[in-house]
Amino acid sequence: MVVAEESLEMRKKEEEEIPIEEKRVGKILDSSSSSSILIVNQQPGIFFLHPLEHSWTFWFDNHFGKSKKITWGNSIRPVYTCSTVEDFWCLYNNIHHPSKLVVGADLYCFKHLIQPKWEDPVCANGGKWTISFSRGRADTCWLSTLLAMIGEQFDHGDEICGAVVNVRPKQEKISLWTKNALNGTAQFSIGKQWKEFLDYNDNIGFIVHEDAKKHDRCPKNRYII
């Protein structure tokens, strides 16, 4: 009984020593509601948080039913920024996974302060590795991609900007965006490791953003692995 009381007192003391700011879970960046993505109120009482090496911001866009006059990228909005392991799981466990998102939806996870756009200075000279899945098959690989990024599992992790999952009528695509397309050594390393993390055996291609701009829907792969 004495041991239990001492343990309780120690826990209370530890809780008091933690600044209020550290008890907060994540940061809501956009409180606007959406039928395609759902965030619930986070539960208080997390006393020991595990910080991530980088903060990661989730972004959302939905092309379905939008006017063609809207410029690509103008409707993407930031949703939530994760700074700790607990932040990430609070978000991930309370949003729709790719198989449950509406057709036309894009869900992004990028390093904080990097916008998921070709025009962003960090992304401008980069490109992306892409893997396609039949509709409803990308959930596990999307989670594995997120965990590999936020867990800093890539040898060239500094080259990574973020990842996006695109939900389309017949398929779902996951793309891994990187900074410097000309750094072939880093790109091949990232592509190879990504396939290993996902246990994916087919070839994947790397497209440079500049090539995608020039050739629109038919850009050629710069690298294949």
Handedness of CA 48, 20, 95, 55 (dihedral sign): negative
CATH superfamily of 25-224: RNA Cap, Translation Initiation Factor Eif4e (3.30.760.10)
CA distance 190 to 152: 12
Q: Name, in order, each residue with C-beta under 8 angstroms of 69's C-beta and a sequence gap of 6 or more.
A: none
Instruction: Output the tens digit of pLDDT for each of the chain's 225 residues.
Output: 433 444 434 444 444 443 434 433 444 454 444 434 444 445 555 468 999 999 999 999 987 655 555 565 678 999 999 999 999 999 999 999 999 999 999 999 999 999 999 999 999 999 999 999 999 999 999 999 999 999 999 999 999 999 999 999 999 999 999 999 999 999 999 999 999 999 999 999 999 999 988 866 778 999 999
In the chain, domain spans? 25-224
Q: Extract long-range pairs of 200-208: CB within 8 Å, 24+ residues apart.
A: 200/131, 200/141, 204/129, 204/130, 204/131, 205/129, 205/130, 206/127, 206/128, 206/129, 206/181, 207/127, 207/128, 207/130, 208/126, 208/127, 208/181
Tell me the whole-structure pTM to 2 decimals: 0.78
